[in-house]
């Protein structure tokens, strides 16, 4: 396996990524808000995925990637989609399968809708495909108006970081120290700009993107994900949805690839092989 500390120079700054190497079909793994490429450690170690080439970048302002010099253009769904297109081109990836988690899923759908980078398939997790309206956002997500919205908060306290890390990717009430450190490291402006731009409708209509997908499409959510409204996914028109339909992984919350990796890895391997 190649070094987890590879970097690519882009217009967004230096992007860090991990690459398993090999000649198998590439799977691009895209992490969520205030996370990092290391959330996918269990996929890089999975025997089921050993025949694929796994690539996991740190989004700008996250992990070991640099903070962008242009937050307003970069820390948005279109900005992250452009960054993913840059990574695909820069690494010479031919028609990758893209797995996007949470924010990463929105970036993946934005990229798929733009059609600038040929993709073999798209899998999302914890990502309700929404139209660019407040009504659609409220229908897809569990957003408590009475609670503080950490997803959009610029400056985290230590308690904020712990709460966010625990609820997004904790396992049995515990938080990985590195992942907690990466929540604290995240450029806070990225959260603020991302949420504000989505609220302002600066994104493609993801419902329309899903309805128009010609490549295989998969949804694998944690059955106990606290951030999404599971029935919302049944309202989607998704003609290329794979035969398993929308999957809810038992015993998993927002991050089934971490919380129930054996079940998740089998699903990802099956989907990628079918693409």
The one-digit pLDDT tens for each residue of the chain (275 residues) are 344 579 999 999 999 999 999 999 999 999 999 999 999 999 999 999 999 999 999 999 999 999 999 999 999 999 999 999 999 999 999 999 999 999 999 999 999 999 999 999 999 999 999 999 999 999 999 987 666 789 999 999 999 999 999 999 999 999 999 999 999 999 999 999 999 999 999 999 999 999 999 999 999 999 999 999 999 999 999 999 999 999 999 999 999 999 999 999 999 999 999 99
Please give the pLDDT value at position 2. 42
Domain count, the chain: 1
Tell me, yes or no, whether 71 lies in a domain: yes
Query: What is d(CA 140, CA 225) in angstroms, rounded to the nearest whole number?
Result: 12
Tell me, yes or no, whether 1 lies in a domain: no
Please give the pLDDT value at position 1. 37
Tell me, yes or no, whether 270 lies in a domain: no
Tell me, yes or no, whether 180 lies in a domain: yes
Paired strand residues for 86 = none
Tell me, yes or no, whether 275 lies in a domain: no
Q: Which domain holds residue 112?
A: 6-261
Tell me, yes or no, whether 271 lies in a domain: no
Query: What is d(CA 232, CA 38) in angstroms, rounded to the nearest whole number?
Result: 29
Residue 49: CATH number of its domain? 3.40.50.1820
* Tokens linked to 38: 């290391």
Tell me, yes or no, whether 273 lies in a domain: no
Give residue 93's Cα distance to chain centre.
18
Q: Does the predicted model carry a pTM greater than 0.85?
A: yes
Tell me, yes or no, whether 224 lies in a domain: yes
């Amino acid at each position: 396996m190649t070094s987890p500390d590879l970097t690519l120079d882009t217009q967004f700054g230096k992007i860090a990524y991990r690459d398993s190497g090999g000649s198998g079909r590439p799977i691009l793994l895209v992490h969520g808000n205030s996370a990092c490429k290391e959330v996918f450690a269990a996929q890089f170690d999975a025997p089921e995925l050993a025949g694929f080439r796994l690539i996991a970048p740190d989004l700008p302002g996250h992990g070991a990637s640099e903070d962008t010099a242009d937050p307003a253009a970069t820390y948005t769904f279109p900005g992250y989609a452009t960054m993913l297109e840059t990574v695909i081109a820069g690494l010479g990836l031919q028609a990758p399968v893209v797995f996007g988690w949470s924010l990463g899923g929105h970036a993946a759908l934005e990229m798929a809708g733009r059609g600038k980078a040929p993709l073999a398939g798209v899998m999302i997790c914890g990502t309700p495909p929404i139209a660019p309206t407040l009504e659609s956002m409220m229908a897809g997500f569990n957003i408590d108006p009475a609670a503080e919205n950490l997803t959009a908060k610029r400056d985290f306290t230590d308690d904020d970081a712990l709460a966010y890390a625990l609820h997004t990717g904790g396992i049995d009430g515990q938080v990985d120290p590195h992942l907690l450190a990466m929540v604290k490291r995240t450029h806070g402006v990225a959260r603020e700009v991302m949420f504000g731009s989505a609220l302002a409708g600066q994104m493609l209509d993801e419902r329309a993107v899903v309805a128009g997908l010609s490549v295989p499409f998969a949804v694998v959510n944690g059955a106990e994900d606290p951030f999404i409204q599971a029935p919302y996914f049944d309202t989607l028109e998704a003609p290329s949805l794979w035969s398993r339909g929308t999957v809810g992984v038992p015993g998993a919350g927002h991050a089934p690839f971490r919380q129930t990796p054996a079940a998740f890895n089998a699903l990802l391997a099956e989907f990628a092989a079918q693409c």
